[in-house]
Amino acid sequence: MIEANAWFDAAIARGVDFFAGVPCSFLTPFINYAISNDRTEYVGAASEGEAVGIAAGAWLGGRKTMVMCQNSGFGNMVNPLTSLNWTFRIPTMLVTTWRGQPGLKDEPQHGLMGARMEHLLDALELPHELFPTEEADIAASLDRAMEAMDSSRLPYAFVMQKGTVNKCPLNPPAIDRGVFPAERVDAREMPAAPEMSRQEAVVLATGVLGADRPYLATTGKLGRELFTVADRENHFYHVGAMGCVSGVGLGLALTRPEKNVVVLDGDGSLLMKMGALATIGHYAPRNLLHIVFDNERHESTGGQHTVSSTVEFAQIAAGAGYRKAYRVGTRSDFEDVLTTAATEEGPTLIHVKVALATDPNLGRPTVKPHDVAVRFREWMAGGGA
């Protein structure tokens, strides 16, 4: 058994200081230390997949990260690990507990995942080892992880067994959420039909907000439209990991509070991980603008309906803790709220209804995803608003 501070001292010495995750009883003392220590930053996510996205955003902002979860929730990580971290070559350390470890009695829901944990990590081509149980082994295990991640730019996993870390108290820090307006929702009158296509709305948004902000565009045609409008180093085309772009934006905004982060989201994407609204609302980054382009369709897959026609995203965002939320459907209203949101404190959400109309000559990013990630991270380190 080790003391939490021994592991964190060694990790922080190697630059690992940003953590995200979902708790497990095996993790309790370890996660308590990450939450309570003033040398580390911890974000409690609504889901394990969201935690992976948050850590990816922190990496884009220049941090070294770790994501932790119970292995029964590890399945929620598979999509972003394989279509975000692998695709963009974004490294993070992982700690997954080993509930249902063969030979140990545990709750019935852990049986299958416990028996298949190592096989699953192998199938995902994730290098892994047991989390150290002796303090003398901490430094070497961290060095192996750092060397592997530096070489591959891919995640490295530790599997934590029961009783690995000694007890540690929980002393969560207070979160400064600032002052929120009494009226947080501005829902404008909607036209009979949307006035803009999504691409027209993207052109308007980038024009009003300016070219020098970091823009993160969700997977599908929205990212292609941002690329077609302009391909810049501060554009991140979030192919894969549908639903995770809001988490990536949160991690980036928390990591780089001096940057004005813009998340370009879609109705299908946001519906997939609506828990991220609560996480964003709770941590309340003042530098995050979240724009949801809603055409009520899964357009990239043939135009199937989403359920967004009965969803009030602005109301939900305000209820989840966003400082301000807007709903618009006309060009003039969208331009008006963009102008206001450009200078007000966030987190702010703009829900804009757009038409189902795509340019038949819509381009695709010609920059490979891992190069997109590198140039974006370098831009974040050196310039921008």
Average pLDDT score, the chain: 95
Q: Is the pLDDT of residue 141 over 80?
A: yes
Q: Is the pLDDT of residue 29 over 90?
A: yes
H-run or E-run covering 157: strand 156-160
What are the tokens at 171? 């002393």
pLDDT at 255: 98
Q: Is the pLDDT of residue 188 over 80?
A: yes
Q: Calculate what percentage of the chain has a pLDDT beyond 70.
A: 99
Q: Is the pLDDT of residue 129 over 80?
A: yes
Q: Is the pLDDT of residue 191 over 80?
A: yes
* Span 261-278, pLDDT tens digits: 999 999 999 999 999 999
Q: Is the pLDDT of residue 384 over 70?
A: no
Tracing tokens 């299958």 back to the chain, one arrives at: 112
Distance CA 19, CA 230 (A): 33
Residues linked to residue 217 through DSSP beta bridges, in sequence order: 237, 264
**Are the CB atoms for 30 and 159 separated by under 8 Å?**
no
pLDDT at 383: 59
pLDDT at 360: 79
Give the phi and the psi of residue 289 in degrees, each rounded to 5.
-115, 120
Supply the DSSP string of 13-82, one letter for each residue.
HTTEEEEEE---GGGHHHHHHHHH-TT-EEEE-SSHHHHHHHHHHHHHTT-EEEEEE-GGGGGGGHHHII
Q: Is the pLDDT of residue 362 over 90?
A: no
pLDDT at 244: 97
H-run or E-run covering 102: none
CA distances, 282 to each of 91, 271, 286 (Å): 26, 18, 11
Q: Per residue in 337-352, is it b (16+ CB within 10 Å) or e — as a string?
A: bbeebbeebbbbbbbb
pLDDT at 179: 84
Distance CA 37, CA 129 (A): 26
Residues linked to residue 290 through DSSP beta bridges, in sequence order: 263, 349
Please give the model's pTM, rounded to 2 decimal places: 0.96
* Span 221-276, pLDDT tens digits: 999 999 999 999 999 999 999 999 999 999 999 999 999 999 999 999 999 999 99
Task: For residue 324, give the 3-state DSSP assignment.
Answer: strand
Distance CA 320, CA 279 (A): 8
Question: Which of 87-96, 248-257, 307-316, 361-370 has the least mean pLDDT?
Answer: 361-370
Going by C-alpha positions, the residue among 266, 225, 262, 263 that lies closest to residue 242 is 266
Q: How confident is the model at residue 301 (pLDDT cuts 50, 70, 90)?
A: confident
**Are the CB atoms for 276 and 337 separated by under 8 Å?**
no
Tracing tokens 């974004």 back to the chain, one arrives at: 90
Distance CA 74, CA 95 (A): 10
Going by C-alpha positions, the residue among 141, 177, 165 that lies closest to residue 34 is 165
